[in-house]
Amino acid sequence: MYAIVDIAGQQFKVQKDQKIYVNRLVGEEGAQVSFDQVFMIDNEGQLKVGAPTIKDAKVSAKILNHLKGDKVIIFKKRRRKGYKMKRGFRASLTRIQIEEIVA
């Protein structure tokens, strides 16, 4: 059984007991969160598609930890102009574990 769900502005395909990294969520480590914007559920071949979401469907998860992602380097250069710029950032992420999918 899997579901397509909207988590923090992005769509993810999730299954029970799956661990995924999402954009930073509000909540303490160990807290329960639920997502009610479920777009599709597949239950062993029985496909249920929402228009745009499925009513009374939700995905519940547990926050495992908050962390920062790998550093991304942004380097810009204009040739023969003496222009160089190097910047970087690390995305704030949350690791969650999917606990159950309710159709």
Query: C-alpha distances in angstroms, 44 versus 27, 54, 59, 66?
Result: 33, 17, 17, 33
pLDDT tens track for 27-37: 999 999 999 99
Rounded to an integer, the average pLDDT of 1-21 is 96
Q: What's the whole-model pTM score? A: 0.84
Question: Of all residues in the chain, what percent are helix, strand and coil, respectively (each to 5)?
Answer: 0, 70, 30
Rounded to an integer, the average pLDDT of 53-76 is 96
The per-residue pLDDT for 103 is 85
Average pLDDT, the chain: 96
Which residue ranges make up each domain of the chain? 2-102
The per-residue pLDDT for 80 is 98
d(CA 48, CA 11): 16
DSSP label at residue 90: E
